Amino acid sequence: MGAAQSLGLPPAQGPHQVGCTDVMVGLTRKGLFFRLFYPCLPQEGVEQPLWIPRYEYCRGLAEYADLHWKWCTPLLSVAFGSFRVPVSWNGPFKPCSSKYPLIIFSHGLGAFRTVYSALCAELASRGFLVAALEHRDHSACATYFCKAGDGQPGAPQATLQEEWVLLHRVPAGRKEFHFRNPQVHQRANECVRGLRLFQDIGHGQAVTNILHNDFDLAALKDSVDMTQAAVMGHSFGGATAVLALAKEPGFKCAVALDAWMFPLENALYPKVVKPVLFINTETFQTAESIAKMKQLSSRNSQTKIITMLGSVHQSQTDFTFLAGNLVNTVFQTRGPLDPYKGLAITSRAALAFLQKHLELKEDFDQWNDLLDGIGDSVIPEAPLCLSSL
């Protein structure tokens, strides 16, 4: 398929139908904002949400790509604004007596909460709750929070005011590490707060979604297995997942997609004692980055590093399915590897890893070979040009 594919997100392949909703908690920047993907009950007349939820995200993408936003924002809106996510918006939650495992997902630099919808929906269709955060550390292309109008903490929804948090670039004259390292710590702390929010929800504590969607978070009571929680992310989010794993005992393992290891301080690595699965693309990683991953795999035999051949950094995002030939030529949103095959490798390797380390009673172990880099279009560790360190 490759460039000849029809544009649009693929439907999830698992046994569960998938619903999603947006959740915003708290009236300050220190609250949380995420899109929740979950198994849902079948229903007729399903509404599918837009992939780009607000026009402001198109402007954010233009500014992240360093394009002239006044003319590029409407072009991006035309290119991507009509795509929908093939899930049920606010669909009825499917109760589960055995409870669902939880994944907290962290996006990459310049992304936002919906950029990994194909992967998040696939995982939800396999029986996971997936909370895709939208970080407020100025690394999202754009995001926002709501605050009470006139400073009234108990103000009704009608008086809530939006405040946008825009992408910040590294200031001139400042070393990038000293800018990015505090960001990755804020991101990891948001992942930890996300985990604790689901602890509250699972225990039946009332949690107010100030967006007032037609989805009752109380439906999740007694349906979240907090003993089976993992953290996952792409690029900057991959580094975030590694750091969150070290910070929070409640996370049992992490899946890092093409992790950008640069923002992590060297003192962190001895503290990462639980297993990590690194699923890398062929063209993004450097020898230095792979060496940092190998610091972790040398300490824990359950930490795995694999590479998808024919893939590029955006192969693990939705852009690989949605970008037309022109956009792909400019931004390299996909490589020779078929996007559907790339999604299958990524999701199946993650599922096999999660089954093992969350002790799930599923059949995901059928894909265990992927964890050792065995299979079509996948190799262990890194390509030879990077692995000789």
Q: What is the CATH number of the domain that holds 353?
A: 3.40.50.1820
In this structure, is residue 343 part of a structural domain?
yes
- Please write the tens of the pLDDT for every residue from 50-97: 999 999 999 999 999 888 778 899 999 999 999 999 999 999 999 998
What's the pLDDT score for residue 328? Answer: 82
Number of domains in the chain: 1
Q: Indicate whether 159 pLDDT > 90.
A: no
What's the pLDDT score for residue 22? Answer: 98
Buried b (16+ CB within 10 A) or exposed e, 213-249: bebebeebeebbbeebbbbbbbbbbbbbbbbbbbbbe
Single out the catalytic residue among 88, 125, 223, 235.
235
pLDDT above 90 as % of the chain: 85
In this structure, is residue 123 part of a structural domain?
yes
Q: Indicate whether 4 pLDDT > 80.
A: no
Q: Indicate whether 2 pLDDT > 50.
A: no
In this structure, is residue 67 part of a structural domain?
no
In this structure, is residue 5 part of a structural domain?
no
Angle between helices 176-202 and 236-247 (to 10 degrees): 60
Q: Indicate whether 155 pLDDT > 70.
A: no
- Please write the tens of the pLDDT for every residue from 102-152: 999 999 999 999 999 999 999 999 999 999 999 999 999 999 999 987 655
Catalytic residue flag (residue 338): no
Q: Indicate whether 238 pLDDT > 60.
A: yes
322 is written with which tokens? 């949605």
Give the angle 186-61-146 at the CA atoms, nearest 5°. Answer: 50
Mean pLDDT calculated for residue range 312-333: 90
For the chain, the average pLDDT equals 93
In whole angstroms, what is the distance from residue 60 CA to residue 229 CA?
A: 31
Domain that holds residue 207: 18-49+84-149+158-386
In this structure, is residue 365 part of a structural domain?
yes
Catalytic residue flag (residue 258): yes
In whole angstroms, what is the distance from residue 224 CA to residue 230 CA?
A: 12
Quick one: pLDDT band at residue 3, thresholds 50, 70, 90?
very low
Single out the catalytic residue among 22, 313, 338, 357.
313
pLDDT above 70 as % of the chain: 95
Q: Indicate whether 5 pLDDT > 80.
A: no
What's the pLDDT score for residue 12? Answer: 98
In this structure, is residue 370 part of a structural domain?
yes
In this structure, is residue 331 part of a structural domain?
yes
Catalytic residue flag (residue 203): no
- Please write the tens of the pLDDT for every residue from 87-109: 999 999 999 989 999 999 999 99
Residues 202 and 181 sit within 8 Å (Cβ to Cβ) = no
Quick one: pLDDT band at residue 386, thresholds 50, 70, 90?
low
| Alpha-carbon separation of residue 376 from 341, 373, 379 (angstroms) | 10, 9, 8
Single out the catalytic residue among 22, 225, 258, 338.
258
In this structure, is residue 60 part of a structural domain?
no
What's the pLDDT score for residue 213? Answer: 83
